[in-house]
């Protein structure tokens, strides 16, 4: 998957708030949109190389979106929404080894009072899947979340409820970087999320992980990795 039609290189300077960054592009400073409102610890550091998509519009406050940051020898995506797009492509191509045998799928599905990222149609029942994007990695271990997430807790609770009703349910963690060997919950940042994720596993919610291959212009799903709580 390509990040955009026009991709340019810049140098990160600072982050005035969660959604904005000051970046130097060809010697000139400009404000860019940061699509990941998380803390992105260890990533958005001064003088790091970044890649940006140039997409000016009268409806936008900035002309650029910051999509990648250089971290040592690898590129790391700062665009959480790409996780869902990558999973949607994987479902269309029937290429996710841990999710197979479905005849159809739909995204952003409402069910009762809940909304799920994906619903997969199986002969006997439906499966509901939530996707979580992981950017924080320490010593090869991806940690989610990197900031407290009431929304994430809500999603896990909903999956537990639907699992209790007899549906197949799953959380799929997508690490948008190549150095991730496993995924765990970040108890130091949000112990409540870890509590409910462990409860979800006990109740039968399936937990999966996958990392990504990232180039300066593209991102793709790479290989399944284990979720270890």
pLDDT in tens, 92-123: 999 999 999 999 999 999 987 889 999 999 98
* Domain membership flag for residue 90: yes
User: What would the pLDDT profile of 7-21 be if each residue is shown by its tens digit?
Assistant: 999 999 999 999 999
CATH number, domain with residue 43: 2.40.50.580
User: What would the pLDDT profile of 158-177 be if each residue is shown by its tens digit?
Assistant: 999 999 999 999 999 999 99
* Domain membership flag for residue 153: yes
* Domain membership flag for residue 85: yes
* Domain membership flag for residue 1: no
State the Rg of the chain over Cα. Answer: 18
Per-residue pLDDT, 81? 93
Per-residue pLDDT, 59? 84
Is residue 61 domain-shared with residue 134, that is, in the same domain?
no
The domain in which residue 169 lies consists of 81-227
Is residue 101 domain-shared with residue 214, that is, in the same domain?
yes
Is residue 173 domain-shared with residue 86, that is, in the same domain?
yes
Is residue 92 domain-shared with residue 52, that is, in the same domain?
no
Is residue 85 domain-shared with residue 67, that is, in the same domain?
no
Is residue 18 domain-shared with residue 104, that is, in the same domain?
no
Is residue 94 domain-shared with residue 198, that is, in the same domain?
yes
Is residue 154 domain-shared with residue 221, that is, in the same domain?
yes
Question: pTM to 2 decimals?
Answer: 0.94
Is residue 92 domain-shared with residue 178, that is, in the same domain?
yes
Is residue 25 domain-shared with residue 93, that is, in the same domain?
no
* Domain membership flag for residue 2: no
Is residue 21 domain-shared with residue 55, that is, in the same domain?
yes
Max Cα-Cα span within the chain: 59
Characterize 115-154 residue by residue with b for buried, 16 or more Cβ atoms within 10 angstroms of its Cβ, and e for exposed: ebbbbbeeeeebbbbbbbbbbbbeeebbbbbbbebeebbe
Number of independent structural domains in the chain:
2
């Amino acid at each position: 998957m390509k990040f955009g039609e026009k991709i340019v290189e810049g140098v990160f300077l600072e982050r005035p708030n969660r959604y904005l960054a000051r970046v130097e592009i060809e010697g000139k400073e400009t404000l860019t949109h940061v699509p990941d409102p998380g803390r992105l610890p260890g990533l958005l550091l001064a003088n790091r190389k970044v890649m940006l998509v140039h997409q000016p519009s009268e409806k936008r406050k900035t002309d650029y979106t910051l999509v990648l940051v250089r971290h040592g020898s690898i590129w790391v995506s700062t665009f959480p929404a790409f996780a869902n797009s990558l999973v949607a492509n994987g479902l269309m191509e029937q290429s996710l080894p841990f999710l197979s045998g479905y005849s159809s799928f739909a995204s952003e599905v409402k069910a009762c009072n809940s909304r799920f990222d994906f619903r997969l149609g199986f002969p006997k029942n439906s499966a509901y899947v939530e996707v979580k994007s992981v950017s924080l990695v320490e010593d090869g271990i991806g940690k989610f979340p990197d900031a407290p997430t009431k929304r994430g807790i809500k999603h896990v609770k909903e999956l537990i409820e639907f699992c209790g009703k007899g549906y197949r349910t799953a959380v799929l963690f997508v690490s948008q970087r190549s150095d991730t060997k496993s995924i765990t919950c970040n108890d130091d940042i949000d112990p409540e999320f870890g509590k409910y994720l462990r409860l979800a596993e006990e109740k039968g919610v399936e937990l999966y992980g996958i990392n990504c291959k990232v180039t300066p212009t593209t991102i793709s799903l790479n290989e399944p990795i284990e979720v270890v709580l």
